[in-house]
Amino acid sequence: MLRHCRLIDGRVLLFFPDPYPVLPVRARVLIELTLASGQSTSLPAQVAAHEQRSGTWLAMRALGIVTGLQVAASAPRRRERRLVFDQLAWVEHMGGPVLACPVLDISRGGARLWGVPGISPERDHDLRLRIQGAPTMCARIAWAHGREVGVKFDSASQSAGERVYQRVEQMWGAARLASHSPLCRCATVVATNDPPFPARLRMS
């Protein structure tokens, strides 16, 4: 994976093979990287350049991709699939103020949030969250690392959470898919089958 990355000015450029790219340059995207082990990590990226009838160069934060790959390689296999979401929800925690928090990913039974308002979040705290297009849901914190928490929907909110999950699953179902070429030489030598790196990106 790392042999396919190009580090330029603190950004990692990764080539995504796709003969018919549909997104314009500078468009924001989400990319899910799945390892041979079945573990995956999802990262925000931006379209940096197109290669005609070949694919797209995506730019990501260097720290984000390194951390994401380390977590995916070392974390135990998840029992439920999580879908990266990258949208805001209105969250109320322990009677505190209602604030907008990013929903980092969602599963059939819960979600991962960042920036939970109010007092420091702890396991078994209750909260309420409202995601666009869904009714207010009640959940309980299953784990907390600083301001990042994983929550489990309560029984009365399971069906609403399931509908949100299905909506996100449909969006991911329409995503462009690329597989690592079995002809690529990256496993044995430093060279890859990626096209030459665009010189104009070195100057931007």
Residue 163 belongs to some domain of the structure: yes
What is the domain count for the chain? 2
pLDDT given at position 181: 86
Residue 51 belongs to some domain of the structure: yes
- Check which CATH number belongs to the domain holding 147 and give it: 2.40.10.220
Please indicate, yes or no, whether residues 186 and 107 belong to a single structural domain of this protein: no
Please indicate, yes or no, whether residues 159 and 189 belong to a single structural domain of this protein: no
Q: Give Cβ neighbours of residue 134 (< 8 Å, ≥ 6 apart).
A: 160, 161, 163, 164
42, burial (CB in 10 Å: exposed 0-12, middle 13-18, buried 19+): buried
pLDDT given at position 2: 78
CB 47 within 8 A of CB 56: yes
CB 5 within 8 A of CB 14: yes
Residue 176 belongs to some domain of the structure: no
pLDDT given at position 89: 95
Structural domain containing residue 151: 83-170
Please indicate, yes or no, whether residues 70 and 10 belong to a single structural domain of this protein: yes
Please indicate, yes or no, whether residues 102 and 147 belong to a single structural domain of this protein: yes
Q: Quick one: average pLDDT of 75-83?
A: 67
Please indicate, yes or no, whether residues 104 and 129 belong to a single structural domain of this protein: yes
DSSP string of 41-67, one letter each residue:
EEEEEEEEEEETTTEEEEEEEHHHHHH
**pLDDT for 106-155, tens place per residue?**
999 999 998 888 889 999 999 999 999 899 999 999 999 888 899 999 99
Assign 81 to helix, strand or coil: coil
Query: What count of Cα atoms within 13 Å lies in the side-chain half-sphere of residue 91?
Result: 29
Q: Which of 118, 116, 124 is nearest to 90 (CA)?
A: 116
**pLDDT for 26-63, tens place per residue?**
999 988 888 777 777 778 899 999 988 889 999 988 76
